[in-house]
Amino acid sequence: MQRVKSASSVLSRYTANNNGGFISRLKRSLSSLSNSPLTDDQENFVLVEGNGASRTAILNRPSVLNALNTSIGARLQKLYSSWEDDPDIGIVQLKGRGRAFCAGGDIVALYNVIRQGNIEQGKEFFWTIYNFIYMLGTYLKPHVALLHGITMGGGAGVSIPGTFRVATDKTVFATPETLIGFHPDAGASFYLSHLPGYLGEYLALTGDKLNGVEMLSCGLATHYSLAAKLPLIEEQLGSLTTDDPSVIEGSLQNFGDLVHPDPTSVVHWIETLDKCFGHDTVEEIIDALESEASRTKDVWSTSTLKKLKDTSPLSLKVSLRSIREGRFQTLDQCLIREYRMSLQGISGKITSDFCEGVRARLVDKDSMPKWNPPSLELVTADMVDEYFSPVTALEPDLELPTKLREAFL
């Protein structure tokens, strides 16, 4: 199989040309993988299968729906780098063990380290995961993510930038970050902003779920197969001795199922959705939904309004701006901006909505978060602007090897 670049030479050149900044930060990440719920058990949380020309990484934290932590991000980077540099490997696959592909970042562990005052561990978590996402988005070999089961937040982030995404009848997708006082991250402002119409804004603000058929219909998934066929797909991909994406595409198509979204699906509301979510501000979006609900009494408008009113007002405003900016940015630019936003979100400087949202939804589970500010009217332009700024003047931005790994999209 023909190799385009050497990952090890890319790494060494980047170290030489950038004073080792990226590598030094990665080494600090790897050296801090002990005594933290964000960094436990690096080897066992990602298993490996395959031989010949195929390798499969298996997310192996089924008890927490394969939630990502720093260790998993570092392990995936190490594996993917070695596989990319191996001329005998043509296909890389990623799947989850159990009933989830990946439910996103381990936000309960993140919540706990923040409450303990360990903000640096939170920074390392985002730094490591975002760097892996950029690696995936610039990967030199065909990548197949088998999105069987729950695929949310960071789980989408470590799959959608890759070449192929196979959804099934068991897939459940969402970017539910606004429900916990955060913002859709892990590259979400890039891929959501490229969805048809204003569907990305809708998904980002409401945290609504999509099934596998809906993912295929809007482009989040590249293929759809019944879950019962997954063993056959894995067997077929494992037998291939090629790195030709067209051959892999043909193999996946052989197991595809012809499906159409349910009549109640949000994709059938796209005209109304675009009319409401195409507005410039959250307030105008809500006004449009209220007008639509009053005029038509339809269930979709009413339920969408309720979802928006249950979320953090500040999260709604920063998330809308994030998606709008993502429409005009590359993957690396989105990740760098999202890193700033994520550090603001966990720092508590502007608001403690993230910790409050996790407490209410996942820790105490009273589902009664007390947002601060409590209403859209009290969210100032300065607050939103600050959310997009570095936490401090000395805080370094996310470093990505963009000169040597140029994003394909």
DSSP state of 363: I
Q: Which of 73, 96, 104, 105 is catalytic?
A: 105
155 is catalytic: no
Q: Report cis status (omega within 30 of 0) of the bond before 373.
A: yes
- Is residue 292 within 8 A of residue 330, CB to CB? The reply is no
Query: Would residue 235 show up in a list of annotated catalytic residues for this protein?
Result: no
Q: What are phi and psi of 174, to 5 degrees?
A: -165, 155
Q: Which of 90, 96, 149, 154 is catalytic?
A: 154
Active-site residue identified among 84, 177, 201, 292: 177
Is residue 177 annotated as part of the catalytic site, yes or no?
A: yes
Rounded distance, CA 370 to CA 136, Å? 37
DSSP letter at 362 equals I
For residue 154, indicate whether it is catalytic.
Answer: yes
- List Cα–Cα distances, 363 to 53, 153, 183, 356, 370, in angstroms: 43, 18, 19, 10, 14
Burial profile 293-305: b = 16 or more Cβ within 10 angstroms, e = fewer = beeeeeebbeebb
The dihedral over CA atoms of 110, 155, 43, 227, expressed in degrees to the nearest 10, equals 140
Number of H helices and number of E strands within the chain? 18, 10
Q: Which of 106, 185, 201, 353 is catalytic?
A: 185
* Residues classed as catalytic: 105, 154, 177, 185
